[in-house]
Amino acid sequence: MPRDRDGNGERLDPIETFLPLAYQIHQLDLKLAAQARSVIAGHGGLSLPQWRVLRVIGMRVATSSTAVRKSLGFDKSQFSKTVSSMVEADLIRVGPHARDRRQSELNLTPKGQAALDQLGPVLDDRNKHLLATLSPTERKVIATALAKLSRAAEITEFDNEDPET
């Protein structure tokens, strides 16, 4: 297949075929974030970082301040500003951590739960829309590929290894 075509034979934008993978992923991330901000803006006054914190706490992925911050990849300053704005907006409550005094425990307030309940299904539909553009095989491949790329991105010293081996 020519390099300027995707797996379905559709013509790719030239920028998508010749730039490094990290750049292409960054460009996709920018588009996805813009789309998410647009959807969120139509359903209340949350920012994208606030939504992400709500979702992680609401799904019980993490509730300690450090675990939430790390799971989202936020730097300490951004996380602190986001949490402060959410406390001020009565979306989350910050309390002492049961086992670690250096940590805080983050919990949704009723207002935060209502925001999650309102926006969650809308963003779940967005996720379904995005996944619907991929075949079942492509969904499996992308999940595997993203996991592999995530692990590879943790390595900072490189040799001339063959990526196919």
Is 18 domain-assigned? no
For residue 92, being part of any structural domain is answered with: yes
Return phi, psi of residue 118, to 5°. Answer: -75, -45
- Euclidean distance between CA atoms 27 and 124, whole angstroms: 22
pTM: 0.78
The domain that contains 143 carries what CATH number? 1.10.10.10
Residue 123 domain flag: yes
Q: Whole-angstrom Cα distance, residue 68 to residue 56?
A: 7
Count of domains in the chain?
1
Is residue 1 in some structural domain? no
Nearest CA-CA partner of 72 in 90, 91, 59, 87: 59
Decide if 40 is inside a domain.
Answer: no
Please check whether residue 21 lies inside any domain of the structure.
no
For every one of its 165 residues, what pLDDT tens digit does the chain have, with 9 covering 90 and above?
455 666 677 776 666 567 788 898 999 999 999 999 999 998 878 999 999 999 999 999 888 999 999 999 999 999 999 999 999 999 999 998 888 778 899 999 999 999 999 999 999 999 999 999 999 999 999 999 999 999 999 998 987 666 565
**Does a structural domain hold residue 16?**
no
Strand ranges, E, within 13-138: 92-96, 104-108
Q: Is residue 88 part of a domain?
A: yes
What residue numbers bound the domain in which 116 lies? 46-152
Question: How many angstroms separate the CA atoms of 23 and 20, rounded?
Answer: 5
Of the candidates 73, 80, 75, the residue with the CA atom closest to the CA atom of residue 154: 73
